Structures are given as C-alpha cells and as structure tokens.
Amino acid sequence: MTATAPRPAPPSPVPTSSWGPVAGPVPTLADTIRAEWAKLRTLRSAPVTLAVAALLVVGLSALISFAVAQNHQRAGADALAHPLHIIQAGWELGLLAFMVLGVLVVSNEYSSGLISATLMSTPKRARVLAAKVIVFTLTAFVAGEVMSFADFFIGHAIIAAYPFPDPWVTDPNVVRSVVGWGIVATLGGLIGLGAGTLLRHTAGAIASCVGFIFILPGVLSALPSSWSNPIEEYWPTNAGARLTELTQGPHTLTAWWGAGDLLAFVVVLLGVAGTLLVRRDS
Amino acid sequence: MIEVRNLTKRFGAKLAVNDLSFDVQPGVVTGFLGPNGAGKTTTLRLLLGLAHPDHGTATINGHRYHDLRSPMREVGAVLDARAYHPGRRARDHLLVLAAAGRIPRRRVDEVLALVGLEDVANRRAGTFSLGMAQRLGIAAALLGDPPVLLFDEPVNGLDPEGIIWARTLMQALAAQGRTVFVSSHLMSEMALTASHVIVIGRGRLIKDSSVDDLVKASSGKVVRLRAPRADALGSRLQAAGATVEANADGSLLVHGLEAATVGDIAFQAGVAVHELSPLEASLEEAFMELTREDVEFHARAASPVGAASPAGAARP
C-alpha cells in the first residue's frame, strides 16, 4: 500500500533532527519554572487580571481618597480618621483579583485539557506545583508591591491637597503597611492557587475563595463569642491583615505573627493540594 | 517497547481495565482496537502516568512513566487533540512544552514544519480546526524525537489527505525502529496502518496477533459453492463435517471445510461445479466477530452485524 499525499506534499514526515533521542539533558525544576513562566507570559489572562487588580488598587483607591477628602472638607472636619486606610481602600477587591489569578494558574489547565500535556512533560507532579507556586509568588509579589507603592504615593498626593494631616513613609509602620499589602495579596493569591489545585474548576475555586475571605468570617462571628473570638483572631485572612494595620489595637497577634498565621495556612493548603495532585488521577 | 502486565483499573463499580497484559514491539505500527468504552484510553492514560493503576504495571522501556528521566525524549503521546489552552498561540504552546522538557527552541520550528503548521504557528490554537489540532498534538508528541509514540484516535477529524498523511507518518516512524501504538475503533483504518493488533473489549484482552493472522483465523474455512445440482451435495458435505447454508441466489456457503475438500466431494458425487471460492474475512469482520460479546452498548437495531456476511458466521 502506497500512501503518498495527493496534493501539495506535506513536509517529509520523517523526523530529521540530528540530536539523538533519550540521551538528551534531563529536565530539572529550573526547566519546569521556565515552562510555567512561559505559560504565564503567553496568555492574556495574567496581564488582564493584573491590570484589573491595578485598576482596583490604584484607581478605586484614588477615587475613594478623593471622595472622602472632599466630603470631610465640606463637613468642616479637621482630620481624617484613618487616612492610610482610605488610601488603601481598593485593596479589599484587589486582593480578590490576585486570588482569581492564583486560581486561573491551575484551573486554566484543567478547563482547557492542557493539564495532561503538562503532566506528560513533567510527570513529577509535585515539581509542577512547586514551579507554579514559585512563578506565581514572584510575579504576584512584584506586581503587588508596585501597585501598593503606586497607590500609596498617588493617594498621598490626593489627600495632601486637602488641609488634613496625612501619613508619610517616615511615620511608624506606614512602610510596613504598604509592603504588607503586597505580601497579603501574594499569599491570598496562593490561597487561590491552592483552591484551584484542589477543586480543578475555575468557578468553584473562585466561589470558595470569596466564601473563605468575605462570607465565612461573618457567619462564624454569629457563634458564641467564646468560639468566635479566637476564630476571628486566627482566621488566616483576618490575621494576615494585621500586617497592613498601623496599630495592633485589641488583637493578640502582632503584625508579623498575623502574617505568619496566614503563611502557615497557605503552606498547609498547598501541602494538601500537592498531596492530592500527586495521588489523584488527572 | 511497551510492557503491560496484569493492568487493572476500577472506576467505582466499573472495571475499566481488567487484568490486561500485552507487549508492544518496536519497528511496527501496533493497532489498539476495541469498541467504544473498551478501556483503550484508560490503558493509555495508565501507561502515561495520568492515572494510577489499582493493580499491575505498565512500563515503557522497562520504566514506569513517572520514573522516566527525560519523558519527552522517551515517549511522545497524543491523547486528547485539544490538550492546549485555546488562548495560546500554537508556537507558544510548543515553546512551553519544549521548555518543560529542556528541548532546544529550534526543535519547535522543526516539528511545526514537520506537521505542516508553520504558516499558522502564530495563530491562537483555539481557532484551529480539529484536524489542525491533531497536527499540533502530533507536533508536541514529536518534540523530543522519542523512540516510543502513543496515539489515541489520531485520525479523528482529519480530512482524507490528513488521514493519509498521518498513516504515512506513523508507518515512517515505525520503519525507523520506533514503537508506535495507535488506538482506534476504525478497523478499516487499522487494516491499512497497523501490522499488529491488540484487541480489547470491556477492559480485557481479546486478541494479540498480527493483522494477517487475525484475518486468516477468521476466514479460509468458508467456501462459496455454486453448482446446478447443489442440493444433491448438501448431505454429503454435512457428512464430511461441514455446515451448509443456502444463499438466496442459489449458491451454498460451506463452513468448516477447505475449498479443495469441497471440490473433491463434488467430484466424487459427480456434480458439476460452477464456482468454488474460499472467502476471506476483512479485518473489520474479524473484529466484529471477536468483540461481539464485548460491545459495551449494543445497538437495538435488528440485524446483528456480521451475521449477514459469510465470514462473520465462520467460527475459527
């Protein structure tokens, strides 16, 4: 049986590459990281999600700063109660955008079917998750810090136009708060990444994240206070927020212990997600 | 070389792969046949480490997939043609995989040319037809220039020219000494592509043989006889151990005897013979015969396939 293509001959089907099979270099974690970075760069979802986050963190915050300052001036107030808090008002929603990006980093692969190609190229699944975590952490941290500082300086400039005392980087804990939002956003995004790995479904993972940050803490506060107080105090996202607050207030956890609480939760979540990723059929 | 030993995989109550053992040799195209739901894709996923077996092993060149040091250089596979993100450009998709496998970037352009996608390499893969998707999948499988290749239903969605192209490619790959394992439910396609077949049904091995042997085993023992006084021959043939079936056109189908024997009997009876032809089963018929008991979803339609054809009725 001869089988030659009838029309414009397709290129010779015989692989002709000179470099031999099997003997090639063995891929390492660095190669998996390169692949994950290439994935992030070559889709529009990452830049679009980060642009949305920037719009919320910088744009929405600026709008709120302007509106609040304007209102207070008209009301004849001589100070803003929490000027830094106003400047950073957009971060609550910005955090959600980081979580969505974290979810997409994994759930994208399941919704498209790419996951089987990924796991065939890198059957060491823990390495795949580690590479995703590393690439996402670096990307989210850099983006988060850039957004947080941009937001701070722009918000400061807006409030400085009004006769209110406003926070500056030399004030105690202001830098920690600004840096802190970048860290919290990164860790929040990693919660999304863990949820995406566990649930393998974009909508389900995002819904779980929203429930976890915004809804569950409220529901739990309805419990008797002997229960709800410690839960509220140590709830990962609440505890992580200590890092962004200027004063410790009535809380048990200091800023960095609070961040540690959130980090510990992220580590446990990713550990469970990694274990399931390795054990489950893809 | 692929070795599958006692492979078993259960999904809930359903035994998808049931104590399956077979080898796939290098140098030839081996077809992996079975009706839909027979467990072909599950077996391939177990081989590729995408699913974990409940029992048994599936190894490639002596190693479980998970233990391969440089998997893309050792095995290439096309499971689901659309195993890519639709928003990513075709070249970028291959660059991602090349990075993961530590394969030089120039190899990406080589495989794009090999499958004929170089002109659309910068299009987002989501705009591809199923045929182009198959080609992109094949390009990904060939990135590492691996000695073992697995294809799951590779000609689905290809146009006739593409089917010939894929068939030529698989045979060329095998001719280079590679192990080529191709699943399909299309017997006619496998008859043209494969020289060895592994047939499974309901997760169990039904047949592991060369295509020639499979066809031979299902045929040769059916002879069509046309004779003016055929009725006079019936009892004699039955006495010789044959089963005789009368066709509507007056010819007889003789099961269980070689053509030469039938001719001798006719001669002894003094009956003139106008036609005496041994019937060969096609691979399709051989397959239907093999899997009749094991088809997952029986069609309710009246006439069972194969019963109308002489070879289908022949029992090896």
* CATH number of the domain encompassing residue B137: 3.40.50.300
Contact B171 A3 (CB under 8 A): yes
What's residue B283's pLDDT?
A: 67
What's residue B293's pLDDT?
A: 66
Is A22 part of a structural domain of the chain?
A: no
B71 and B120 share one domain: yes
Contact A42 B79 (CB under 8 A): no
**Euclidean distance between CA atoms A223 and A219, whole angstroms:** 8
**Euclidean distance between CA atoms B146 and B75, whole angstroms:** 5
Is A13 part of a structural domain of the chain?
A: no
For A94-129, the DSSP string reads: HHHHHHHHHHHHHHHHHHHSHHHHHHHH---HHHHH
**Rounded to whole angstroms, what are the CA distances from B284 to B197, B213, B214, B245?**
12, 13, 10, 22
B165 and B45 share one domain: yes
Is B173 part of a structural domain of the chain?
A: yes
B146 and B225 share one domain: no
Domain of residue A38: give its range: 29-279
**Euclidean distance between CA atoms B179 and B294, whole angstroms:** 28
B150 and B184 share one domain: yes
Which of B171, B189, B210 delimits the end of a domain?
B210
Number of domains, chain B: 2
Percent of chain A exceeding pLDDT 70 equals 92
Shortest Cα distance, chain B CAs vs residue A105, angstroms:
12
Is A112 part of a structural domain of the chain?
A: yes
Residue type, A223: L
Write out the two tokens for A92. 């609550």
What's residue A12's pLDDT?
A: 46
**Rounded to whole angstroms, what are the CA distances from B141 to A24, A111, B93, B145?**
16, 21, 12, 8
What's residue A13's pLDDT?
A: 46
Contact A121 B92 (CB under 8 A): no
What's residue A223's pLDDT?
A: 83
Is A79 part of a structural domain of the chain?
A: yes
B255 and B144 share one domain: no
**Euclidean distance between CA atoms B1 and B12, whole angstroms:** 31
Task: List the strands of the sheet with B14-24, edge to edge.
Answer: B14-24, B2-11, B55-60
pTM: 0.84
Number of domains, chain A: 1
Is B290 part of a structural domain of the chain?
A: no
Tens-digit pLDDT profile for residues A190-207: 999 999 999 999 999 999
B125 touches chain A (CB under 8 A): no
B249 and B168 share one domain: no
Contact A42 B89 (CB under 8 A): yes
Q: Which of B68, B95, B110 sits opposite A17 (nearest CB)?
A: B110
Q: Around Cβ A60, how many Cβ atoms within 10 Å?
A: 17
Contact A22 B70 (CB under 8 A): yes
The ipTM estimated for the assembled molecules is 0.87
Domain of residue B117: give its range: 2-210
B91 and B233 share one domain: no
Angle, helix A125-160 to helix A45-54, in steps of 10 degrees = 30
Residue type, B16: A
B191 and B95 share one domain: yes
Tens-digit pLDDT profile for residues A249-276: 788 888 899 999 999 999 999 999 999 9
B96 touches chain A (CB under 8 A): yes
**Euclidean distance between CA atoms A139 and A186, whole angstroms:** 9
Is A64 part of a structural domain of the chain?
A: yes
What's residue A102's pLDDT?
A: 97
Average pLDDT of the segment spanning A209-236: 85
Task: Please identify every stretch of chain B with a pLDDT value under 50, giving residue numbers as ranges.
Answer: 301-316
What's residue A197's pLDDT?
A: 97
Average pLDDT of the segment spanning A129-135: 98
What's residue B219's pLDDT?
A: 58
